[in-house]
Structure 1
Amino acid sequence: MAKLYFRYSAMNAGKSTALLQVAHNYEEQGQKVKLYTALIDIRYGVGQVTSRLGPQRHVDTFGPETDFLAEKPQVACVLVDEAQFLSTVQVQQLHQLAQVKGVPVICYGLRSDFRGDPFPGSAYLLALADDIEEIKNICTCGKKATMNVRVDDDGQRIREGEQVAIGGNERYRQACGRCFYSS
């Protein structure tokens, strides 16, 4: 039976690397996969899943209008990067794709934003996913990082602003709960 999987972590934990590895594993066995990333994430170009380790791959994008059920992929697995940007309806569609159509769906994304608030897509993934796994990361203090901190151009913490501000290491740091609240 196919499942909806949610693999989450703080920033910089290797989610995109893990997604690319899963795609490679399927394809190495002669299986077709369908990969998506968020249309709004253009850090490395439109439709690029890029690992900080170097591997990169052009993939399809999803935006607010994407209907995952209308796409009817003939694949062994669907992989979604930046899954926090999914809408609640899209998460329901991906759950249905797994449960009714029998296509495993593995989503990778952040659980919460720089304020500690959940992303709507992540909240629904936590509610509907059949299998949830945290990808571990480390805070600068050495403890497990579970939170995200947004910083400005001078490396100073930003505590207010829009939920979504696309960026990588220049804009975000991972932190444990203690450092998140004390910095």
Structure 2
Amino acid sequence: MAKLFFRYAAMNAGKSTALLQVAYNYEERGHRVRIFTAAVDDRYGRGNVTSRLGPQRPAEVFDGETDFRQLLDADPGIACILVDEAQFLSKAQVWALHEIAHTRNVPAICYGLRTDFRGELFSGSATLLALADEMDEMKTICDCGRKATMNMRVDAGNRKVTEGAQVEIGGNARYRAVCGRCFRQA
């Protein structure tokens, strides 16, 4: 039976690279996948899953209106659904992916952040933590060498930002993956 998976980590842990590898593995064996990424994330152009290592590929975008059940109804024969930036899924979308895995036998593998720059759960991540049949924490390290578990937003002077909108798209110039101690000391 298929499962709903949540593979989460702080920024820069290789989540997109892992997603691209899973897609390649399915396709190399003759299976079709559907890859989605958040419409709000336009760091590398809209509708691209891009690894900092270089590999990238086009993906379908999802937003709050995306109905995964309907998309799957219109495209039978999909072996796996892969979602990058899964923290931006809505609660209803996570429930839909859970249903797809359990009633249609199509695995849904979601990659994303667990928490925002304040250490608070994203709605999509909270629902994935509640519903995922299998969760895997991917690892990356803080500048100090410890395991990074937090995402720290920084300003132009590299100082920690503690207020603002939950979602502000940015890469290494805007965020740092840090351990809990460095998060607290900043």
* TM-score by shorter chain over 0.5: yes
State the 1:55 CA deviation. 0.3
Map of 1:141 onto structure 2: 144
Asked if 1:109 is matched to 2:112, the reply is yes
Structure 2-normalised TM-score? 0.97
Tell me the SS of whatever aligns to 2:36: strand
Aligned equivalents of 1:97, 1:169: Cα separation in 2: 34
State the 1:156 CA deviation. 1.4
Letter of the 2:58 counterpart: H
Map of 2:38 onto structure 1: 38
Asked if 1:129 is matched to 2:151, the reply is no
Map of 1:98 onto structure 2: 101
State the 1:160 CA deviation. 0.6
Map of 2:53 onto structure 1: 53
Letter of the 1:29 counterpart: R
Aligned equivalents of 1:146, 1:27: Cα separation in 2: 32
Aligned equivalents of 1:54, 1:89: Cα separation in 2: 33
Tell me the SS of whatever aligns to 2:49: strand
Aligned equivalents of 1:170, 1:28: Cα separation in 2: 36
Map of 1:8 onto structure 2: 8
Aligned equivalents of 1:177, 1:77: Cα separation in 2: 34
State the 1:109 CA deviation. 0.1
Asked if 1:119 is matched to 2:83, the reply is no
Asked if 1:77 is matched to 2:91, the reply is no
Map of 1:24 onto structure 2: 24
Could you report, residue by residue, the CA deviation over 1:23-76 in whole angstroms, capped at 9, with x for unpaired residues?
Answer: 001111111100000000011111010000000100101000001111114311
Map of 2:162 onto structure 1: 159
Could you report, residue by residue, the CA deviation over 1:67-109 in whole angstroms, capped at 9, with x for unpaired residues?
Answer: 1111114311100000000000000000000011110000000
Q: How many residues align?
A: 183
Identify unmatched segments of 5+ residues in structure 2. Answer: none
Aligned equivalents of 2:85, 2:36: Cα separation in 1: 9
Asked if 1:169 is matched to 2:181, the reply is no
Identify unmatched segments of 5+ residues in structure 1. Answer: none
State the 1:154 CA deviation. 1.9
RMSD: 0.6
Map of 1:64 onto structure 2: 64
Letter of the 2:85 counterpart: E
Structure 1-normalised TM-score? 0.99
Aligned equivalents of 1:17, 1:162: Cα separation in 2: 27
Map of 2:181 onto structure 1: 178
State the 1:133 CA deviation. 0.3
